[in-house]
Amino acid sequence: MPPIALISDFGIQDWFVGEMKGVILSILPEASIVDITHQIAPADIRTAAFMLLACYSSFPPGTVFCSAVDPGAGSNRRALAIKCGSYFLVGPDNGCLTWVTQRTEDVQYYSISDGKFSKTKNSTFSGRDLFGPVAAYIASGVAITEFGPQVFDPVNIPFPKTHITEYGSVCGEIIFIDRFGNAVTNIESRLIENAPFNSLRISNGTELPFHAFYQEVKPGQAMAYCGSAGFIEIAMNRASASSQMHLSPGEIVEVLHLKAQ
């Protein structure tokens, strides 16, 4: 039985997450449900896209990822069931699933039709009434082709692009701040493996050395490193880099090539 992994902006104060799980278990009592996060800021589609991208490959093949970050709930926006390589994705057609699909060659999109797999047509609680049930049915073995017609024009949020300067440096931007205050960039760690890069420059001119782990620098000292999600990150030992350095998503960064020094 493949697990069902949930992402939402429901928070943990109210009953929404619990009720969504209740519906899943009503359909599939033996379901294995994993909470990726429910603490995404309301309607923050980009963060939802990044959260899924950061962790999906650690799950076993067949996992059904269900994203309920859905500011368009109750409207005529499409709902999608997606075959994405060896995984399945369920959620609104608003781009929150696309940072994973963009990195997968074998992707098939199906528009979820109203009917036997959904509880109500115009619900503002799609996690309970649509996405959760569909995820449960997929995990139970229902073929993804059963949910509706195949579509070829999903809403897409392009992943922020990097570019190479004339000096060979890699320019990118901060795309996410985690709870520790570490700033995750869109520059993939693999781009600098075994290459002559030795520092990262922030748009304000601050230049940071690369280190392997936090304790290689003194408390309160900043550094760049290869983060666990596969991207270059900025951090401080025992402090919040985002707070201390006033970093936020969209800030331009540059991983410096030796000849650009």
User: pLDDT digits over 8-50, tens only?
Assistant: 999 999 999 999 999 999 999 999 999 999 999 999 999 999 9
Sequence-distant contacts of 44-49: CB under 8 A, at least 24 apart: 44/9, 44/69, 45/69, 45/71, 45/94, 45/95, 45/96, 45/157, 46/95, 46/157, 46/175, 46/249, 47/176, 48/7, 48/9, 48/96, 49/95, 49/96, 49/97, 49/98, 49/99, 49/100, 49/157
Residue 256 has pLDDT above 90, yes or no: no
Strands 231-236 and 183-188: antiparallel
Same domain, 131 and 232: no
User: Is residue 147 located within the same domain as residue 20?
Assistant: yes
**Among candidate residues 101, 128, 151, the one where a domain is terminated:** 151
Tell me, yes or no, whether 141 and 17 share the same domain.
yes
Domain holding 27, by residue range, is: 4-151
CB contact at 8 A, 82 and 108: yes
Per residue in 217-230, pLDDT (tens digit) is 999 999 999 999 99
pLDDT band at 202 (very low <50, low <70, confident <90, very high): very high
Could you give the C-alpha distances from 132 to 18, 33, 213, in angstroms and in order? 11, 11, 39
pLDDT of 237 > 60? The answer is: yes
Whether residue 101 sits in one domain with residue 228: no
Longest dimension (CA), the chain: 62
Q: Tell me, what's the pLDDT at 196? A: 66
CATH of residue 73's domain is: 3.40.50.10790
- The total of structural domains in the chain comes to 2
Do 144 and 20 fall into the same domain?
Answer: yes
The arithmetic mean of pLDDT across residues 148-157, rounded, is: 97
105 with 196, same domain?
no
Instruction: Retrieve residue 245's tokens.
Output: 């350095």
Question: Do 123 and 251 sit in the same domain of this protein?
Answer: no
Q: How far apart are the first and last CA of the chain?
A: 53
Q: Which pLDDT score, from 0 to 100, does residue 195 have?
A: 67
In a domain, 236, yes or no: yes
Whether 158 is covered by a domain: the verdict is no
Mean local confidence (pLDDT), 82-90: 98
Confidence of residue 198 (pLDDT cuts 50, 70, 90): confident
Q: Which of 122, 151, 180 is the last residue of a domain?
A: 151
In which band, very low, low, confident or very high, does the pLDDT at 259 lie, cut at 50, 70 and 90?
A: low
Which domain CATH number covers 207? 2.40.30.90
| 157 lies in some domain | no
Residue finishing a domain among 121, 151, 181: 151
Rounded to whole angstroms, the Cα distance separating 89 from 94 reads 13
Beta bridge partners of 163: 171
- 111 and 146 part of one domain: yes
**Contact status, residue 240 vs residue 183, Cβ threshold 8 Å:** no
Domain identity same for 131 and 207? no
Structure confidence by residue, pLDDT tens digits, 112-128: 987 777 766 668 999 99
One domain, residues 203 and 224: yes
Note if the pTM is more than 0.85: yes
Cβ within 8 Å of residue 108, ≥6 positions away? 82, 83, 144, 150
Q: Average pLDDT, whole number, for the chain? A: 93
* 156 within some domain: no
pLDDT of residue 78: 94
Cα separations in angstroms, 209 against 29, 70, 222, 249:
51, 39, 8, 21
